Amino acid sequence: MALVELRDVHKTYAPTKKGAEPVAAVRGVDLSVEAGEIHAIVGYSGAGKSTLVRLVNGLEQVTSGSVVVDGTEVVGLGETELRRVQRGIGMVFQQFNLFSSRTVWGNLEFPLKLAGMPAEERRVRISELLHFVGLADKAHAHPDQLSGGQKQRVGIARALATNPAILLADECTSALDPDTTREVLALLRRVNEEFGVTIIVITHEMDVVRSLAHRISVMSAGQVVEQGDVRDVLAHPQADVTRRFVRTLVDEVPSGEALSALRERVPGRLLSVDVDREGTQERVFATLAGHDVALRIVHGGVNQVRGSSFGHVTLALEGDGADAAVGAVTGLPGVEVLA
Ligand SMILES: Nc1ncnc2c1ncn2[C@@H]1O[C@H](COP(=O)(O)OP(=O)(O)OP(=O)(O)O)[C@@H](O)[C@H]1O
């Protein structure tokens, strides 16, 4: 069941200055986020990602289209009803957005007080949340006494305080170092697995997508240009912008200048092998082993996504049997003859 469903959503901002043009930030987006999934929204700066999530939680109004959250059409909703929908959505931000004058406890208590929870229940809930995020010993610290990773764990605990079904995380690891990023991602994974919270992550970091998300939507100039299972999209990106993002994780099959440079530098024949395809590597290597060739890996990269590998490696084949070996693997699925 789709928990969040956008249909032909447009958002145009009115000009901010006199004489300026309106900004079409979101242009005809269809998006379904299933209950229980972690859905990454990826794109370069200005692609419209933040606008899209602000339309989901009702912080911005669509220009046209439909936004359904947990069965409720958000477009045109009155304030009271909108607040009810918003209570089911937690937000985690890049800059944490904690109250600096309140302790960790006070930061977590705030949304619970707003929700009208009695004092004793609040105490139990805050204690649960602090244990869940591993900060039970920091209850009385102020945010400026915490590391970035600890601040973000408080941010996540606060977002979860009122048991939302959906968590929106906007660049929530972009201000953190790689080790701290991994910790925060592990925590988000537990939020998803243990509480079944549906998570929408906005990011431009493909490592976040690779290690966290189940599905991905890639945005460019206000539109979703590619959408699918993370494994499929990373292994076989279709849109140019997606390929540029995937290239930050693994090298693609060399083409253009990269291929010319390789041809100049490397003698012999060149073959690219897709490591994602079932059985391809085994067949290629078994076939090549029967020929009089010396093999070298000269380009490429392999990465992991949820327990399986993706990427391409380019092999150079030298020796008397090189042409026959290339002939023997030509046409195998996942094999491309480059030279
Ligand atoms: N409140 C606003 N008023 C006018 N224009 C806006 C407003 N918010 C965003 N925009 C414009 O809408 C477009 C999309 O911005 P948005 O912040 O949604 O993109 P983004 O993909 O999240 O980028 P970033 O990662 O830089 O935040 C940009 O051209 C931006 O300048």
Q: How many other C-beta atoms lie within 10 A of the C-beta of residue 213?
A: 28
Band of the pLDDT at 210, cuts 50, 70, 90? very high
Band of the pLDDT at 308, cuts 50, 70, 90? confident
Provide the pLDDT for residue 307.
81
* Tokens 């078994």 -> residue: 286
Ligand 1 atom 7, closest CA: 13
64/56 Cα distance (integer angstroms): 13
User: For a pLDDT cut of 70, what percent of the chain falls above it?
Assistant: 100
Band of the pLDDT at 147, cuts 50, 70, 90? very high
304/46 Cα distance (integer angstroms): 29
Band of the pLDDT at 1, cuts 50, 70, 90? confident
| H or E segment and range at residue 7 | strand 2-13
Model confidence at 278: pLDDT above 80: no
Model confidence at 52: pLDDT above 90: yes
CATH numbers and ranges of domains, the chain: 2-247 (3.40.50.300), 256-337 (3.30.70.260)
> pLDDT per residue over 222-272, tens digit each?
999 999 999 999 988 999 999 999 988 888 888 888 899 999 999 999 999
Ligand 1 atom 8, closest CA: 51
Band of the pLDDT at 279, cuts 50, 70, 90? confident
> Cβ(98) to ligand 1 under 6 A?
no
Ligand 1 atom 10, closest CA: 25
> Cβ(241) to ligand 1 under 6 A?
no
Model confidence at 162: pLDDT above 80: yes
Provide the pLDDT for residue 17.
84
Provide the pLDDT for residue 75.
93
> Cβ(220) to ligand 1 under 6 A?
no
Band of the pLDDT at 314, cuts 50, 70, 90? very high
Band of the pLDDT at 198, cuts 50, 70, 90? very high
Band of the pLDDT at 18, cuts 50, 70, 90? confident
pTM, entire model: 0.90
Sheet holding 72-73, edge to edge: 23-34, 2-13, 64-69, 72-73
Provide the pLDDT for residue 217.
97
Band of the pLDDT at 301, cuts 50, 70, 90? confident
- Answer whether 154's CB lies under 8 Å from 96's CB: yes
51 vs 175, residue with greater confidence: 51
Model confidence at 306: pLDDT above 90: no
Q: What is the mean pLDDT of the chain?
A: 93
Provide the pLDDT for residue 218.
97
* Tokens 């419209």 -> residue: 48
> Cβ(88) to ligand 1 under 6 A?
no
Give the Å distance between the CA of 215 and the centre of ligand 1. Answer: 23
- Cα of first residue to Cα of last residue in the chain, in angstroms, is 48
> pLDDT per residue over 98-145, tens digit each?
999 999 999 999 999 999 999 999 999 999 999 999 999 999 999 999
Helix axes 104-114, 119-132, angle to 10 degrees: 130
108/111 Cα distance (integer angstroms): 7
Provide the pLDDT for residue 47.
95
